[in-house]
Amino acid sequence: MTPPTISPAHPPHGLTDRQALLHHRARAARQGGVDFLHQIALDEIEDRLQEINRPFTSPAIVTGNAAFWREAMPHAKVVADDPTLDLQPAEHDLVIHVLSLHWSDDPVGQLIQSARALRPDGLFLAVCLGGETLSQLRDSLTRAEVEVSSGLSPRVLPMGEIRDLGALIGRAGLALPVADQISQKVSYRGLFHLAADLRGMGETNALAARLRHPTRRDVLLRAAEIYAKDYPDPANPERVLATFDLICLTGWAPADNQQQPLRPGSAKMSLAEALASKRKDS
């Protein structure tokens, strides 16, 4: 078998074609949008804020879906996820970066700017796509393109792993970092219905190195066959599953009165001793 060739593209200046991304988002907004991932993110953020049990009086939200978040949190300042964020230093006690960090060419810069906008002991929350998001679609398209055209081109955004994304919190100068993941399995009638949802989310291919012409229909049809065969929904084999992994990042702006983590090795009792003591007391 002839090795696949990499299809030529314009030399990219970064991972993302920002103008294409904004065009896709505007088209999605005009068509009514598909916002179930934003709703999941909203539910998760509200749950986390309730657990903190502390009032936040000056929140800001960084997002590519301003309409949804202005309605969801009307008291918050909503700004676009531009390379330079429209946030002022020490203006907010809460900054939420939601479902756009995965498109950033400089995610560390986005977190640093968000951190600078926080007052001391202010909270940073981020939700972005990562992990195994759209892994089934990526695999099906890759195999179909190699099989049908002996070529290969970037079609699905590369996704960050939770460990790498979690490390960004400390690099941004935030304290008490936490990273966790929510995995969603979504059932679709097939690849083309998934593609329609991605179009409605504004999440279609905006990679700078993408092909600049429509994908051949025979490639798409073969990808749909591979998807249906290899990734059926166990609850309904006539349908397929798509994975969306939401990575949640949390950090706090440093403050003098903030709780500090213990230094490694500073515990007065080992975990085994603590468990043994607990068993003895019970």
Residue 261 has pLDDT above 80, yes or no: no
Query: Which domains does the chain possess?
Result: 5-281 (3.40.50.150)
Q: What is the mean pLDDT of residues 2-10?
A: 36
Span of 2-6, 20-24, 76-80, 189-193 with lowest mean pLDDT? 2-6
Average pLDDT, the chain: 89
The span from the CA of 95 to the CA of 72, in Å, is 15
Q: What is the pLDDT of residues 115-132, one digit of tens each?
A: 999 999 999 999 999 999
pTM of the complete model = 0.86
Q: What is the pLDDT of residues 90-106, one digit of tens each?
A: 999 999 999 999 999 99
Q: What is the mean pLDDT of residues 212-222?
A: 91
Span of 24-28, 208-212, 240-244, 272-276 with lowest mean pLDDT? 272-276
Between 197 and 7, name the one with better pLDDT: 197
